[in-house]
Structure 1
């Protein structure tokens, strides 16, 4: 007797490729899940040099994940970290009947018309990884990252496509709210996040309209680097939830 695998699509945030999940994937496999770490268009090594990054749009990112989902048989769990959460939210909107659960890691689904960097100048084609001080000043906590992790992050980061960052989110299928959600709270504790989930600034999230399970995992904004085993455990629990 065979059983159909539960697939876990792992969507990283800004500047990251599928490699960002390297320390998470083994534990997911050990738990019997079938992980699919994604490198989104424009974020492969050398894409910025070849000009690919400049041409990539938000629609390209959503299509890449949706197309992958469409190739998979069985249950699918979507995991989105940081800016990848907005992509996951749009994929859920397009395939609500195919997604078992959405997991947002220090992120959430954006409301229709929202953008991560709406005011970004039109002549900017890619967003390089900022300095550590700039990230901290913007609220992206580096807690838990040692020098080796920071060095690896800096060496492998690719400028994020600007058209993705300033592109508006498009959602409108009400069945998206039928897909249960797990919110993994790392740099922002759940008791604070719960006060900010009803749309509008500063997060422009529609998280409050979903059936949400909150999981606190205190660390910085990149738990796949700082607490990979604990993040994997949270994803496994979410994937197994009814």
Structure 2
């Protein structure tokens, strides 16, 4: 039996996986959808200090270790690929596979916004103007991503501001992600090609590429197909 641990991207919580988790469990596996610190139902949670990238890495590692999970397929979507990639390295032989769903991947010494040469200043300005949080997207931002009006409404209404420091803190890796067993799911409507960092990682014999003909939020636009891919791993 596989233990799936699923982490959604910026602005989202565990609720983003509501249509995926039941299918994984129906197939006889365990599935745990996490909400990262400062988001969704944990938005007002008090911690010992500011919420940064390391907070999100620890959220993931602590859940896996506290519940003594093994044979873990760790799934990260969008932004969460950065803390998920770091957590995958730290959990050692508990990891079966890490899956990046149209996501960023961590690069040692780089942050989420490091790869945004044109948009970085705008993101950082937006965070500064919003009290240290990255404001959620509007309905117009979801256009062209294979989503219905109802799905867009659900995304917009459920999103919460994202802790800004998690986007500007630098990732820390002890070894190359190419050494990990990994699958990258590329959603073609969002952008047809993986990023240069992912393209390089896909040269590793440990990595494989799967494509989905949908947009950046497949857990909403094609949850059954996404579940099928995850079960096929």
| Same-fold call, TM cutoff 0.5 | yes
**Residues 1:164 and 1:226: Cα distance change in structure 2 (over 3 Å):** same
Find the counterpart in structure 1 of residue 218 from structure 2.
223
* The one of 126, 129, 136 aligned to 1:129: 136
Compute the displacement of 1:92 (Å).
Answer: 1.5
TM-score scaled by structure 2?
Answer: 0.84
Matched, 1:35 2:42: no
Find the counterpart in structure 2 of residue 183 from structure 1.
184
Find the counterpart in structure 2 of residue 24 from structure 1.
20
Instruction: Determine if contact 2:190/2:214 at 8 Å carries over to the other structure.
Output: no
**Unaligned ranges ≥5, structure 2:** 115-119
Compute the displacement of 1:210 (Å).
Answer: 6.3
Instruction: Determine if contact 1:12/1:82 at 8 Å carries over to the other structure.
Output: yes
**Unaligned ranges ≥5, structure 1:** 200-205
Instruction: Determine if contact 1:187/1:219 at 8 Å carries over to the other structure.
Output: yes
* The one of 202, 208, 212 aligned to 1:213: 208
Compute the displacement of 1:83 (Å).
Answer: 0.5
Find the counterpart in structure 1 of residue 161 from structure 2.
159
Find the counterpart in structure 2 of residue 202 from structure 1.
none
Instruction: Determine if contact 1:142/1:221 at 8 Å carries over to the other structure.
Output: no
**Residues 1:130 and 1:95: Cα distance change in structure 2 (over 3 Å):** same
1:63 is paired with a residue of what secondary structure? helix
Instruction: Determine if contact 2:77/2:100 at 8 Å carries over to the other structure.
Output: yes
RMSD: 2.6
Range that drifts further, 189-198 or 15-24? 189-198
Instruction: Determine if contact 1:113/1:169 at 8 Å carries over to the other structure.
Output: yes
Q: Which has the higher contact order (CA 8 A, sep 6+)?
A: 1
1:231 is paired with a residue of what secondary structure? helix
Matched, 1:145 2:140: no
Instruction: Determine if contact 2:36/2:42 at 8 Å carries over to the other structure.
Output: no
* The one of 212, 231, 236 aligned to 2:231: 236
**Residues 1:189 and 1:17: Cα distance change in structure 2 (over 3 Å):** closer
Q: How many residues align?
A: 220
Map residues 6-155 of structure 1 onto 2, 5 A cutoff: 6-45=2-41, 47=43, 55-70=50-65, 71-118=67-114, 119=120, 120-121=124-125, 123=128, 124-133=131-140, 135=141, 142-155=144-157
Runs of 4+ in 1 over 4 A off after TM superposition: 188-191, 206-210
TM-score scaled by structure 1?
Answer: 0.81
